[in-house]
Structure 1
Amino acid sequence: MSRTAVITGIGVVAPGGVGVKPFWDLLVSGRTATRTITHFDASPFRSTVAAECDFDGVAEGLTPQELRRMDRAAQFAVVSARQALADSGLAPQELDPFRTGVAIGSAVGCTTSLEREYVVVSDGGREWHVDPDYAVPHLYDYYVPSSIAAEVGWAVEAQGPCTVVSTGCTSGLDAVGHAVRLIEEGSADTMIAGASDAPISPITLACFDAIRATTPRNDEPATASRPFDNTRNGFVLGEGSAVFVLEERERALARGAHVYAAIEGFASRCNAFHMTGLRPDGKEMAAAISAALDEARVAPDEVGYVNAHGSSTRQNDRHETAAFKRALGDSAYRTPVSSIKSMIGHSLGAIGSLEIAACALAIEHGAIPPTANLHEPDPECDLDYVPLVARNAAGLDTVLTVGSGFGGFQSAMVLTGPRRAGRR
């Protein structure tokens, strides 16, 4: 008998609010959480705007030892995992530890703490030979992104498969896709899966300044992220985390779990083309979309909503517009598309999981989040991008979400509502 993975718990740390309700309320209101950076003095950089999380680890139940030990990204992941487990109605002691796994995506791992501690051991960069006496005991944990998955595993007492997936900006999609495969093949019955990134740091700003990928619209931080708008000029950096409880469908139904959505199709491709560039025809993203739809046994005209990567860069917006047309055919013009990055920025590896959360909640609530700040559509982006205002979508039961990452990574996932789940 085929096995299907379903989402039974969601946990979110996002710009604009911690928890599922504040996250969803922000999205359907069309409000933005982008602002001038407050974490540090960003004035020397080309781009000084970001979507920061107002996160208080103490208020979220982290102990002093956890706060000292864990990087900000790990803190986000652990808090999101605990939220998701509580939302699912499961307690760690109710799980079979050897049949419970963890898959966490992250593009830049523990960058914030690693950079901070390098500044300390190098005396502000003045010493080539660093002094290890000034290093914190947990410096190695900041060096290896696997520490994030380990922290989540310890938090939920999982002793099954445990991994970090790091494929740039598709990490959040790919980690959940990996978790789905483990459930489908029978290696796990329950997976704690998602992604976390906290990249708002000087080194990250410097990296994106160097390639001019982020927006210099510093005087309008609240409206700086403008996917598919003709005035866009780069993405807005973000941070955050979304983690899910994924369960094998029949086991979830047998225990009476609330099912948000089933994940019935997933595929990933690489363009083997350029580290940051994209082919204008969108062929490789279209191939991923078609493969995911085929696995889910969903026809292009059955997709009720597309959650776009929508990074707010010209080449990406045009690339995925072409991909939607290639993969969905004429139905692409009739299918609502939107980008939540317009409201919560681009949190690199975490954004794919935050977008999965938005898709599951869109099915749950029958509503499509808008693309904020879309006042002047790019003529080359001529699909229905749901500008400015959320749209009622009662009965929505099939959603496509896509991601595109530096290095040429392209991923697509199909979520179906409980009414449709299990048709595969």
Structure 2
Amino acid sequence: MNERRVVITGMEVIAPGGVGKERFWDLLSEGRTATRGISFFDPTPFRSRVAAEVDFCPTGHGLTPQEERRMDRAAQFAVVAARTAVADSGIDLGSDDPHRIGVTVGTAVGATMGLDEEYRVVSDGGRLDLVDHRYAPPHLYNYLVPSSFAAEVAWAVGAEGPSTVVSTGCTSGIDAVGYAVELVREGSVDVMIAGASDAPISPITMACFDAIKATTPRHDEPERASRPFDGTRNGFVLGEGSAFFVLEELESARKRGAHIYAEIAGYATRSNAYHMTGLRPDGAEMAEAIGLALDEARINGDQIDYVNAHGSGTKQNDRHETAAFKKSLGTHAYRTPVSSIKSMVGHSLGAIGSIEIAASVLAMEYDVVPPTANLHTTDPECDLDYVPIVARDQLVDTVLTVGSGFGGFQSAMVLASPDRSFV
């Protein structure tokens, strides 16, 4: 079957520890952590008081004062990352039919930070039962509707094709890119600008996760608070950020001499229809998604060189994933390095799936497996090779990256060198 193969030709990352894919990769490859005490607001009333914040100056990254005023922080991340990804790709979108250029944006919580801030203003710090609309900014409606993210990115890059927001919780970042791949593969578009963005570090978000005790209460050493797969872990660290990609058909990319980072060879998503936050310990749903992604990529499980795990740092997730890798990869799971970058950049909800795709692509680019930071204590139920503490030099041609989200969402994506041989 002769089908269109989809590749990544441009990318950018905005993440804790540094803006730009180069600084992002430096952080990961050096095993440094960007988690710290929350500085955006007074976290004293909350159970969890640590987060992975991005040091981001909108005007310093090319946004006009009007754009800064109009857009929530997460939308600002998305626009800056998308513009830079297009520049990185070297593609001239102005010479293409704009109706053949599309946008997909993943986000879990939309403009949470903007809504939280503006509610405090219009309610006079929560003192008014009936809010005073006179203090609302003229673009407050854009904070309410996540579709504004896709509109902003489309305007920024001049895309007039399909423009969509994908919101599937913590798998949004994988799912948005997976949906974009299908549009290119089926020929509906020639180019997709795809990625995800979230900026959820706000009082309302912290309160929500405090209520279910999902985030860590470890405050004494914020840089060591995120401990995926470690026996002493006790919840995840909230983060923020964005990653965007330029996707196009392989032969078109080769024809214009583009640098090809990787092929998105397979993608699948499933739901467990089981529990809003709970996971079955056997990992069956994630294993099903992995198997389908491998089938679409036409590769066997024993050809995976590295697994970029969801690795949130909760006991049920880490054990669920470990079981899924064993079920889908068989004995090869024990020979395959697995790591979680959330140990270094936290969990940015809907954005993290795209950020993890970027980490996977850079692992292929540099032939280095990023480590799982803060992994010192063994959990007997997590007995795979989680690359503790220190990055590892290794040939990386094929990567499996996965995501797991509240509501039972399980997604998997296979990234591969475009020059690989099909099985």
TM-score normalised to the size of structure 2? 0.99
- The equivalent of 2:420 in structure 1 is 420
Q: Deviations over 1:27-59 (max 9, x none)?
A: 000000000011111111000000000001111
- The equivalent of 2:182 in structure 1 is 181
- The equivalent of 1:227 in structure 2 is 228
Q: Does 1:300 align with 2:278?
A: no
Q: Name stretches of at least 5 consecutive residues in structure 2 with no aligned partner.
A: none
Q: Does 1:32 align with 2:13?
A: no
Q: Does 1:398 align with 2:398?
A: yes
Aligned counterparts of 1:213 and 1:37: Cα–Cα separation in 2: 17
- The equivalent of 1:313 in structure 2 is 314
Shift of 1:80: 0.3
- The equivalent of 2:116 in structure 1 is 115
> Counterpart of 1:59 in 2: which secondary structure?
helix
- Output the amino acid matched with 2:384: L
- Output the amino acid matched with 1:82: R
Shift of 1:124: 1.5
- The equivalent of 2:148 in structure 1 is 147
Aligned counterparts of 1:161 and 1:363: Cα–Cα separation in 2: 30
Shift of 1:95: 3.2
RMSD of the alignment, in Å? 0.9
Shift of 1:123: 1.6
Match runs of 1:48-67 below 5 Å: 48-67=49-68
Q: Does 1:124 align with 2:133?
A: no
**Contact 1:280–1:322 at 8 Å: present in 2 too?**
yes
Aligned counterparts of 1:113 and 1:170: Cα–Cα separation in 2: 22
Aligned counterparts of 1:138 and 1:128: Cα–Cα separation in 2: 22
- Output the amino acid matched with 1:328: L
Q: Deviations over 1:127-182 (max 9, x none)?
A: 22212111110110000001011100000000000000000000000000000000
Aligned counterparts of 1:335 and 1:96: Cα–Cα separation in 2: 43
Match runs of 1:259-298 below 5 Å: 259-298=260-299
Aligned counterparts of 2:93 and 2:297: Cα–Cα separation in 1: 31
Match runs of 1:13-412 below 5 Å: 13-394=14-395, 396-412=396-412
Shift of 1:121: 1.3
Shift of 1:309: 0.2
Identity rate of aligned residues, in percent? 71
Q: Deviations over 1:173-204 (max 9, x none)?
A: 00000000000111111000000000000000
Shift of 1:419: 2.3
- Output the amino acid matched with 2:115: L
Aligned counterparts of 2:158 and 2:286: Cα–Cα separation in 1: 37
Q: Name stretches of at least 5 consecutive residues in structure 1 with no aligned partner.
A: none
**Contact 1:103–1:176 at 8 Å: present in 2 too?**
yes
Shift of 1:268: 0.2
Aligned counterparts of 2:61 and 2:96: Cα–Cα separation in 1: 23
Q: Deviations over 1:345-399 (max 9, x none)?
A: 00000000000000111111111000000001211000000001101113x1110
> Counterpart of 1:233 in 2: which secondary structure?
coil
- Output the amino acid matched with 1:357: A
Shift of 1:417: 1.2
Shift of 1:122: 1.5
Aligned counterparts of 2:9 and 2:57: Cα–Cα separation in 1: 26
Aligned counterparts of 1:223 and 1:83: Cα–Cα separation in 2: 31
Paired residue total: 422
Where do 4+ consecutive residues of structure 1 move more than 3 Å?
A: none
TM-score normalised to the size of structure 1? 0.98
- Output the amino acid matched with 1:408: G
- Output the amino acid matched with 1:104: V
- Output the amino acid matched with 1:44: P
Aligned counterparts of 1:168 and 1:162: Cα–Cα separation in 2: 19
Aligned counterparts of 1:51 and 1:14: Cα–Cα separation in 2: 9
